[in-house]
Amino acid sequence: MEEDDPAKIPDTAPVMVLGEATLFPYSYMPLFLFEQRYRDMLSSALERDRMFCLGHAIPGIDTDESNDPIHRLTTIGLIRACVTHPDGTSHLMLSGLQRVEILGFEQHHPFRIATIIPRRSHIEDPDEAAEAALEVVDLSGKLCGYGKPMSDQMRDHLAGVSDPATISDVVAQTFLHDPTERQQLIEMLDVTERLRYLADRLSMILAKE
């Protein structure tokens, strides 16, 4: 599913609230669900459209007591694979589809269901975005072998990707670990701005090696 195809995104979706967890479009996240509310959420999602959002909890807020405990810009994901165990817990793989904005909640218990709208990325200057994407791919390749989580296979994959938005999100998911930085990138809808930010951060990582 392409990020620029909002027609396939539902108007409402369940929300799993996690601290310091951010999923980018075009990326994957393994999850282990054990709380009853998220078991219920998973069952509902599997019966519906296999989608739910990861909500990045705002620091310092009691997520159980607050009616608005998460950042409003997030990513909706698709359950690509799921294994439910005899004890009711589940392992699953969530694939990031698209940035969405949470407009409000129509349900809080037993799990949250939010009203959402797609938030599309945009490129003002395609040539500038392509140039920035090439720089990010080059920097990512240089980090291979430095003990960073970028395999040769991922480097080769990025080299074959032409879409700057895809490159920005896959690299962000792979290399950036600070929750604040990751949320900032989720909220950057300008693809070139995201790529320039990533180039600066990757350059800093290389400088520390």
Average pLDDT (6-11) is: 77
pLDDT at 68: 79
131 CB contacts (<8 Å, ≥6 apart)? none
3 CB contacts (<8 Å, ≥6 apart)? 25, 26, 97, 98, 99, 120, 121, 165
| CB of 16 closer than 8 Å to CB of 86 | no
Evaluate if residue 7 carries a pLDDT over 60.
no
pTM: 0.88
pLDDT at 150: 53
| CB of 99 closer than 8 Å to CB of 189 | yes
Superfamily holding 6-118:
LON domain-like (2.30.130.40)
pLDDT at 60: 80
The CB density around residue 171, as the number of other CB atoms within 10 Å, is 28
- The domain segmentation of the chain, as residue ranges, is 6-118, 126-208
Report the run of H or E that residue 143 belongs to, with start and end: none
d(CA 20, CA 181) in angstroms, rounded, equals 11
pLDDT at 158: 66
Q: What angle do CA 201, 206, 209 make, to 5 degrees?
A: 135
d(CA 74, CA 113) in angstroms, rounded, equals 14
Both tokens assigned to 14? 């369940």
| CB of 117 closer than 8 Å to CB of 7 | no
pLDDT at 61: 81
Evaluate if residue 4 carries a pLDDT over 80.
no
- Whose tokens are 């989580």? That residue is 149
- Whose tokens are 């989720």? That residue is 186
DSSP-derived secondary structure for 183-196: HHHHH--BHHHHHH
pLDDT at 206: 86
Evaluate if residue 130 carries a pLDDT over 60.
yes
pLDDT at 52: 97
Both tokens assigned to 201? 């951060």
Higher pLDDT, 191 or 149: 191
Report pLDDT digits (tens) over 154-202.
666 666 678 999 999 999 998 898 999 999 999 999 999 999 999 999 9
d(CA 172, CA 3) in angstroms, rounded, equals 16
195: alpha, beta or left? (left if phi > 0; alpha if psi -120 to 50): alpha
**Residue 1: pLDDT band with limits 50, 70, 90:** very low
pLDDT at 208: 79
CA dihedral (89, 43, 39, 27) in degrees, to 10, reads 80
Evaluate if residue 108 carries a pLDDT over 50.
yes
Range with the lowest mean pLDDT among 3-12, 19-28, 200-209? 3-12
